[in-house]
Amino acid sequence: MYDFRGKTALITGAARGIGRAIALELARGGATLALNDVNEAAAKEAIGLALEAGSPKAKFYGFDVANSQACNGGVESVVADMGGLHIVVNNAGISIDNLLMRFKDEDWKKVLDINLTGAFYLTRAASRPLMKSKAGAIVNIASVVGEMGNAGQAAYSASKGALIALTKTAAKELASRNVRVNAVAPGFIDTPMTQALPEAAKTKMFEAIPLARLGTVQDIADCVAWLASEKSSYVTGAVIRVNGGMYM
């Protein structure tokens, strides 16, 4: 467990899955939480769990990460409500899958707007309050397919690969103000979606993973918590692969 007492963390896509696990892990360290998601009901459930886990304060913020002005206003509200901002986790993301030749323009735009442009908007909006904190941390949730590609996931792979590039550029720009920017690249994670796959597909998936198991949302949350904490104070511009050895 890490000590996040006195720090405020803004997490996007925080209602369920990886985002919720990250929120609860930071809550255990005493972080004040600003949880963003499109699913208000699930986010409010996550808030209740976060308060039980040890967060002194947690609040829902429903702004659209794909909207520049909404991100600006969302960050302003968080800073006004919580008294500052110290940690940002860009976790919001979607995947629309199809073969490249069949991919629709609107689907391409939607994936990149949320996964990449949303992370850019929020990073830009949060950069000033993070610099004022004198020890800010941004953690971007990328993906193994952002490094290795994956058939049928042109938009998702492109968005996550570009997010890695954005991470490294932001790390170089913000380092002089002691704001660290890193990325976590999950592999296949045990979620309801992967649980529903046919057994043959699961077997093929396991064969591609040297550790021969799916990752858990807690695996990702543990890595994010380390990157958000002072224990990783000399780490910036890194891409931490949490993928069981699937891509090295």
Domain membership of residue 201 (yes or no) is no
Q: Tell me, what amino acid is at 218?
A: Q
Backbone angles phi, psi at 39, to 5 degrees: -100, 95
Domain membership of residue 200 (yes or no) is no
User: Residue written as tokens 């925080």?
Assistant: 14
User: Residue written as tokens 């990149």?
Assistant: 112
Pairing of strands 8-12, 87-90: parallel
248 residues of the chain, pLDDT tens digit each: 899 999 999 999 999 999 999 999 999 999 999 999 999 999 999 999 999 999 999 999 999 999 999 999 999 999 999 999 999 999 999 999 999 999 999 999 999 999 999 999 999 999 999 999 999 999 999 999 999 999 999 999 999 999 999 999 999 999 999 999 999 999 999 987 677 667 887 788 889 999 989 999 999 999 999 999 999 999 999 999 999 999 99
Is residue 121 part of the annotated active site? The answer reads no
Give the CATH number for residue 227: 3.40.50.720
d(CA 53, CA 24): 6
What does the pLDDT read at residue 198? 74
| Model pTM score | 0.97
Its domain, for residue 33, covers 8-190+217-240
Domain membership of residue 24 (yes or no) is yes
Residue 65 tokens read as 């990460």
What does the pLDDT read at residue 122? 98
Q: Number of structural domains, the chain?
A: 1
Domain membership of residue 210 (yes or no) is no
Domain membership of residue 94 (yes or no) is yes
Domain membership of residue 36 (yes or no) is yes
Domain membership of residue 22 (yes or no) is yes
What does the pLDDT read at residue 145? 94
- In the set 2, 61, 121, 156, the catalytic residue is 156
By C-alpha distance, which of 12, 13, 23 is closest to 58? 23
The widest CA-to-CA distance across the chain, in whole angstroms, is 52
Domain membership of residue 248 (yes or no) is no
